[in-house]
Amino acid sequence: MKPQNIYSAILANPRQETIEQLLKKNDIKIERIISKGHKSPETGWYDQEINEWVLVLKGKATLVFEDQTLIDLIEGSYINIPSHTKHKVTWTDPDRETIWLAIHY
């Protein structure tokens, strides 16, 4: 066992959003996601088979749901997204990294 740091190894200007799997066991997957001005494609929705709990550790983001509900997330904000709840990321801070912790279960 070796401790890791959720804030380490972050590129200053990533061209693409980074999704790193931190743990996967049975029906649980934990990911670190790093965004910097990244957002979901204009067409299509995330429509996941399993629930997703996300926490913004650093930065800011905006989610939109299929019913057009907008949710602004800031550092410390978290949300549980039930399976098959269509959603997308419409904005992340372009000036600094947004670091997400996502738990899929």
| 59/39 Cα distance (integer angstroms) | 14
For residue range 30-63, list pLDDT tens digits in order.
Answer: 999 999 999 999 899 999 999 999 999 999 999 9
Give Cβ neighbours of residue 4 (< 8 Å, ≥ 6 apart): 22
| 85/67 Cα distance (integer angstroms) | 10
For residue range 68-93, list pLDDT tens digits in order.
Answer: 999 999 999 999 999 999 999 999 99
Which CATH architecture group holds 18-104? Sandwich (2.60)
The residue extents of the domains of the chain are 18-104
Quote the pTM value: 0.90
